[in-house]
Structure 1
Amino acid sequence: CSYSTDVAEWPQKIDEDARQYWMKKGSKDCQNCKKTSFSSSKKIYENEARYCQKTYFTYTHKPTGREYERDWLCYSVSQGKLYCFSCILIYNKSYSSKFTSEGFDDWKHAPHYIKSHEESVSHREALITLLTLKNKSCQINPQLEAQVESEKKYWRTLLERVVEVIKFICERGLALRGRDEKIGSPTNGNYLGLLELLAKFDPFLDEHIKKYANKGKGHVSYLSKTISEEFIAIIGSNIQEFIIKELKTSKYFSISVDSTPDVSHTDQLTLILRYVLPSGPVERFVQFLDMEGHTAGQMYNSLIDFFSKHDIDMADCRGQSYDNASNMSGKYNGLQAKIKELNSYAEYIPCFAHSLNLVGISAAESCQEAVRFFDFVESLYVFFSASTLRWKILVSEISKTKKTFLVKKMSETRWFARYDAVHALLSSFDVIKLALLLLSEDQDQKAEYRLKAHSLHASMLKLETCFLIIFWEKILSRVHATSTALQRANLSLNSATHLLKSQKLLIKFGTRD
């Protein structure tokens, strides 16, 4: 009986005769990499054709510089895809990996995924099993099958617990790792700490930790950071695949992006997709995209690369929403303009809350009296918060009344959050004024602080200060309410229009009172 050397033509389930045949013969005839042009592997990426490469079938061991062949990697001439010889023989084609089921052909990211599969636990176990069977005349006896099944059941039971702990931590945005990775250490992080906690009530997990923990490198325990990081990547990939599948079912979508620095001070582009399901509209965070710069062109390229990689048609984009930064909102060279060149139906809608914030900043900074007023409000907070004793005196005076508002720090980025600071000042005006008077007369205070308290107290006695507190509290309370309402997920277009119209009327007529 002859067997095809094209792995893609093998059946879904390899029978025992075929398995024994290929175990004895090896993978050389199935690799199809020596005299093949790889023409059937052609794949287009943004008008650029890419193919399978001969270099994929070898790798260099960095410490020694020696080159080795990947004898497990096979090329299918009929499909133009790569398959794993070892995994197919051991797990059959039903195993959930592109190298065993449908074949791998992502040539743009091939080196990364080939290396990832090569270093995976499942691939290594397949190689070991294949070698073991080959040394035992390729016979899979019932005893070995029972042993393999027992091992699979054991590790699957463990991994169920490990995955649940990882999901619990990630859902809450907590850090996994601590200062060390030793079981029993109080600084081993949330991941190992939670496993230790569960082990107190789970005999299986307790026995596993006692047997395998703190063994060091080279010992399989499935408790290391490597395993947790692999599972996070797998879970993240599955979630992203689910979102993209959901998106393609919905067809039409809108995008929202914004750049944000991470803890390593590297800027990343946050990508959010919005689309409509039968149950209603949804908003999904998809991925942080690496940014090479802040120009519209660089952000555009990052977006297009992502959509091309996941086969998402930009022609189905019906909306885009960003803040008012020039690189985003620019009419001719902004990100929104570049996307509209690609798809004229992708209407740009700026963030109304951000627009309102910019209007407030611009309006207040154009008035010297307003600048001086908010500087005074900030000075009050700085003066009291800089000393625990001064803060204690303020709290003591407020506790004697029914007032509950302490001085608040003003937000440097969200201008309308200044409402909290002004509202607190208006609500506790008399108490704050009294606390300043007491501090200005307190001989236990340093002279410079008594002088500062006297200066702030004198400012609070001025009519213009009282007027500006009342004026800005009235304006900011309405603007703050509008800004908050504009950010609600269930806000309708009609409600947003009425809110902005009422805001304009307040500014136009309300300030005349």
Structure 2
Amino acid sequence: MSAWASRGNDRRGARPAEGRSTRWSAPAPAAWGTADGGRQPLDVSPPTPPPVYDINHLPYDAGERLPIESYPVNDQDAIRRAYILNGPFHPYAHIFPKRKIGKRDRQFNFDSAFCFVCYLFKKGNGADTFIVDGWRNWNIGSNALIKHESSKAHKATQARYIGFINPKVAIDYNIEKWGDEDLRLYKIMLTYSLRCLKFLLHQELAFRGHDESEESSNRGNFLELLKFLAANSEEVNKYVLNNAPGNCTLTSPKIQQQIIYCCAMKTRKKIIEELGDEPYAILADEFSDISHKEQLALCLRYIDELGRPCEHFIGVVHVDDTSSLSLKEAIEALLVSHGLTMTQIRGQDYDGASNMKGGIKGLKTLIMQESPSAYYIHCFAHQLQLVLVAVAKGNTDCKRFFDQVSLLLSIVEVSCKHHGMLRNARLEQIRKALDCGELETGETRWGSHYKTVCNIISLYPSIRDVLIALGDDTSHRADWSKINFMVGAFESFEFVFIAQLMFVILGYANELSECLQRREQDILNAISLVNVAKSRMQQLRSDGWNQFLERKLHRLAEFYPNDIKGNNLLKLELQLDNYIDDVRQDDSFKGLENLVDLSVKLVQTKRHKVYDMVYLLLKLVLFLQVATASVERVFSAMALIKTKLRNKLGDSLLDDCLVTFIE
């Protein structure tokens, strides 16, 4: 069977597999595809000097690929492996324009088809229609495609393709065939190296050491861990390090990176397979790493087969700037590299930065131009924080209180000695309280405003003792003015009263804030929690979020014209009445607390197939995430992986390490 590539809307560079090991598997060739033939044909003459390229970001679109012979001879096989592991480019889920052929307007997948195997392995002169320009004669049917598939030139390239992906068929394999014992030993050594690397990836530890020579006392985590396994297991010691046959130790930095890359690719493949052809939402945010490189993290939110919303991290991309256009291009390239299209997006969730939410040139606007149903949701947790901070700053007493808290924190955190004094005072207080049975052991942390206020109240006697001790210490004369001012403010009625008041007010909103950090929250539950917080603050009764009426559900369905249209709208109206009567009579649906529980219950009872339009509308609502907690956790992991000692970690390796650790 022939493999055909195509061109579509997504024309960004892909991130193919490096695939540099001697034995690997390739995907089965895809079926016919189509592409955009609006571009001028590429110049097939090899450029001089050879093109500058990145094997991790080769152009994936069939119409943008450079000829294989234009790459350096020694790199051409690596380029072929990268393209084969990604497979032919075959866009789907597009709304394609029409082109007039004869007297009719016909609609095709952007006009052009390319032969994948001929692009990779064609040799000599001959027609390049299926390689460079693309085949566009759709009005004569598929006869030309079948004719090309049966041609001698194509069969020759197909034979080279099979020999390339299957070493047992290739001539060089028959010349240098490994014995069964060699393959067995190779697999054993690879297994132990893989186990060590998986452990280091899971623990976010570095792999290499500064000096990995035999004489070094510390050869790096990977070699030392392998050495530890060998020292504690005779079975392992037979095959690794100095006992490995020949020079095949499988411990070189290049081998390590290839194994890490394979782990990351398997992880990404599992996520993409679980997603399938379903629509999804994206969560994105940018962050500056330890080497001051701007990184864009991307997570996908989708509904799995059990009806549960899932959020998974698929990659981080280095961006030169944080303009909305650059971010859009980076997101598009990352999605295309995994075979996804922007037309599948049904929701966006970012923070409130202008480059993200701008109504004219913001990222959310650019993406909605590609997918009109990709509605933008501002991170609710971020909004809540902004509201509370703005209200606090608008009140003179609250502003003065938090200014004093900032000064208090600066005094306590300015030196290790101050920390030690507070710790000793606190330990003595806890010891006495435990002796009296007044307290149970617990954790104290200085973090958010609410936790800070809680710690100030719980540690008030200890903090007061430390401030007084610092004021009497002659070695802190430079800070006497600040310390004495803080002692007076700390003991004042105003400070204590505001602390207790903010403890109550922030406590009302704290439950909402913590709930918004959870992955499984949906928009209905979030709004209900907002009402609860408001009702507690205002001391008013509130029924929370009212159930959607049929008219509101019908209006909601109109927001997704590409998913629910025409007869499906009528079908939805008919299903709603039956659905409501059905679930009200089923006791298993009683006590459901949120939309996620409802979605899972529909799948468990097989009603998602009976009321398919109701379930589709429910899934579209669940795409609307209310917090970017998943993306924020990526940056926490990045701070642990790319440290000051590992500040030269490459973008590709950083991406692979993050994916394997987080997922």
Q: Shared fold (TM-score greater than 0.5)?
A: yes
| Separation in structure 2 between the aligned mates of residue 386 and residue 82 of structure 1, nearest angstrom | 62
How far off is 1:467 after superposition? 1.8
| Separation in structure 2 between the aligned mates of residue 436 and residue 186 of structure 1, nearest angstrom | 47
| Separation in structure 2 between the aligned mates of residue 242 and residue 228 of structure 1, nearest angstrom | 21
Task: Indicate conservation of the 8 Å contact 1:166/1:228, yes or no.
Answer: yes
| Separation in structure 2 between the aligned mates of residue 273 and residue 184 of structure 1, nearest angstrom | 47
- Alignment partner of 1:300 out of 316, 319, 328: 328
How far off is 1:47 after superposition? 9.3
Equivalent AA in structure 1 for residue 458 of structure 2: S
In structure 1, stretches of 5+ residues that fail to align are: 1-5, 9-36, 61-68, 86-97, 105-121, 134-144, 412-416
Equivalent AA in structure 2 for residue 459 of structure 1: A
Task: Indicate conservation of the 8 Å contact 2:68/2:120, yes or no.
Answer: no
| Separation in structure 2 between the aligned mates of residue 229 and residue 371 of structure 1, nearest angstrom | 51
Task: Indicate conservation of the 8 Å contact 1:380/1:407, yes or no.
Answer: no
Structure-2 change in CA distance of 1:102 and 1:287 (3 Å): farther
Q: Secondary structure at the match of 2:454?
A: helix
Whether 2:513 is the aligned partner of 1:483: answer yes
Task: Indicate conservation of the 8 Å contact 1:73/1:84, yes or no.
Answer: no
Equivalent AA in structure 2 for residue 418 of structure 1: H
The residue aligned with 1:366 is 394
Equivalences for 1:99-118 in 2 at 5 Å?
100-101=161-162
Whether 2:111 is the aligned partner of 1:80: answer no
Task: Indicate conservation of the 8 Å contact 2:189/2:240, yes or no.
Answer: no
Equivalences for 1:5-44 in 2 at 5 Å?
none
Task: Indicate conservation of the 8 Å contact 1:322/1:328, yes or no.
Answer: yes
| Separation in structure 2 between the aligned mates of residue 387 and residue 49 of structure 1, nearest angstrom | 58
Equivalent AA in structure 1 for residue 279 of structure 2: Y
Moved more, 346-355 or 309-318: 309-318
Equivalent AA in structure 2 for residue 58 of structure 1: V
The residue aligned with 2:449 is 418
Whether 2:385 is the aligned partner of 1:357: answer yes
How far off is 1:246 after superposition? 2.3
| Separation in structure 1 between the aligned mates of residue 348 and residue 274 of structure 2, nearest angstrom | 19
How far off is 1:300 after superposition? 0.7
How far off is 1:206 after superposition? 2.0
Whether 2:413 is the aligned partner of 1:375: answer no
| Separation in structure 2 between the aligned mates of residue 84 and residue 155 of structure 1, nearest angstrom | 34
Equivalent AA in structure 2 for residue 291 of structure 1: V
Task: Indicate conservation of the 8 Å contact 1:381/1:407, yes or no.
Answer: no
Structure-2 change in CA distance of 1:407 and 1:45 (3 Å): closer
Structure-2 change in CA distance of 1:84 and 1:376 (3 Å): farther
Equivalences for 1:439-458 in 2 at 5 Å?
439-440=470-471, 442=472, 445-458=475-488
| Separation in structure 2 between the aligned mates of residue 157 and residue 277 of structure 1, nearest angstrom | 36
Equivalent AA in structure 2 for residue 326 of structure 1: S
- Alignment partner of 2:315 out of 271, 287, 293: 287
The residue aligned with 1:254 is 281
The residue aligned with 1:269 is 296
The residue aligned with 1:55 is 70
How far off is 1:127 after superposition? 8.5
Whether 2:265 is the aligned partner of 1:237: answer yes
Structure-2 change in CA distance of 1:365 and 1:310 (3 Å): same
Whether 2:392 is the aligned partner of 1:343: answer no
| Separation in structure 1 between the aligned mates of residue 304 and residue 286 of structure 2, nearest angstrom | 27
| Separation in structure 1 between the aligned mates of residue 190 and residue 118 of structure 2, nearest angstrom | 35
How far off is 1:272 after superposition? 0.7
The residue aligned with 2:619 is none
How far off is 1:159 after superposition? 0.4
What's the TM-score, normalizing by structure 2?
0.54
| Separation in structure 2 between the aligned mates of residue 293 and residue 239 of structure 1, nearest angstrom | 28
Structure-2 change in CA distance of 1:50 and 1:229 (3 Å): closer
Structure-2 change in CA distance of 1:200 and 1:234 (3 Å): same
Structure-2 change in CA distance of 1:183 and 1:315 (3 Å): same
| Separation in structure 1 between the aligned mates of residue 335 and residue 481 of structure 2, nearest angstrom | 62
The residue aligned with 1:18 is none
How far off is 1:506 after superposition? 4.5
| Separation in structure 1 between the aligned mates of residue 374 and residue 258 of structure 2, nearest angstrom | 37
Structure-2 change in CA distance of 1:103 and 1:306 (3 Å): farther
Whether 2:455 is the aligned partner of 1:427: answer no
Moved more, 371-380 or 390-399: 390-399
Whether 2:205 is the aligned partner of 1:179: answer no
Structure-2 change in CA distance of 1:406 and 1:211 (3 Å): closer
Q: For residues 135-170 of structure 1, what are the alpha-carbon distances to aligned partners after superposition, in whole Å with 9 as ceiling and x for unaligned?
A: xxxxxxxxxx6x622211111111011111111211
Equivalent AA in structure 2 for residue 164 of structure 1: R
Equivalent AA in structure 2 for residue 256 of structure 1: L
Structure-2 change in CA distance of 1:478 and 1:102 (3 Å): farther
| Separation in structure 2 between the aligned mates of residue 50 and residue 448 of structure 1, nearest angstrom | 66
How far off is 1:270 after superposition? 0.8
Task: Indicate conservation of the 8 Å contact 1:323/1:354, yes or no.
Answer: yes
Structure-2 change in CA distance of 1:449 and 1:292 (3 Å): closer
How far off is 1:51 after superposition? 5.9
Structure-2 change in CA distance of 1:195 and 1:366 (3 Å): same
**Relative CO higher for 1 or 2, CA cutoff 8 Å, sep ≥ 6?**
2
Task: Indicate conservation of the 8 Å contact 2:300/2:311, yes or no.
Answer: yes
Q: Secondary structure at the match of 1:259?
A: strand
Structure-2 change in CA distance of 1:393 and 1:172 (3 Å): closer
Equivalent AA in structure 2 for residue 55 of structure 1: S
Structure-2 change in CA distance of 1:406 and 1:460 (3 Å): farther
Q: For residues 88-112 of structure 1, what are the alpha-carbon distances to aligned partners after superposition, in whole Å with 9 as ceiling and x for unaligned?
A: xxxxxxxxxx9855989xxxxxxxx
Equivalences for 1:63-74 in 2 at 5 Å?
none
Equivalent AA in structure 2 for residue 260 of structure 1: F
How far off is 1:187 after superposition? 2.6
Whether 2:358 is the aligned partner of 1:330: answer yes
How far off is 1:443 after superposition? 5.5
Task: Indicate conservation of the 8 Å contact 2:470/2:476, yes or no.
Answer: no
The residue aligned with 1:203 is 234
| Separation in structure 2 between the aligned mates of residue 224 and residue 356 of structure 1, nearest angstrom | 50
| Separation in structure 1 between the aligned mates of residue 252 and residue 59 of structure 2, nearest angstrom | 39
How far off is 1:429 after superposition? 2.3
Equivalent AA in structure 2 for residue 235 of structure 1: C
In structure 2, stretches of 5+ residues that fail to align are: 4-42, 45-57, 85-113, 124-158, 434-438, 541-663
Structure-2 change in CA distance of 1:457 and 1:335 (3 Å): same
Structure-2 change in CA distance of 1:498 and 1:7 (3 Å): closer
Equivalent AA in structure 2 for residue 172 of structure 1: Q
What's the TM-score, normalizing by structure 1?
0.69
How far off is 1:489 after superposition? 2.2
Q: Secondary structure at the match of 2:276?
A: helix
CA-based RMSD of the aligned residues comes to 4.0
Structure number with bigger Rg = 1
| Separation in structure 2 between the aligned mates of residue 244 and residue 103 of structure 1, nearest angstrom | 26
Aligned-residue identity in percent: 24
Structure-2 change in CA distance of 1:53 and 1:191 (3 Å): closer
In the comparison of the two structures, how many residue pairs are matched? 410
The residue aligned with 1:494 is 524
Task: Indicate conservation of the 8 Å contact 2:117/2:161, yes or no.
Answer: no
Structure-2 change in CA distance of 1:429 and 1:252 (3 Å): same
Moved more, 179-188 or 341-350: 179-188
Equivalences for 1:84-233 in 2 at 5 Å?
100-101=161-162, 148-182=179-213, 185-209=216-240, 211=242, 219-233=247-261
| Separation in structure 1 between the aligned mates of residue 233 and residue 68 of structure 2, nearest angstrom | 49
Q: Secondary structure at the match of 2:359?
A: coil
Equivalent AA in structure 2 for residue 155 of structure 1: Y
Structure-2 change in CA distance of 1:478 and 1:45 (3 Å): same
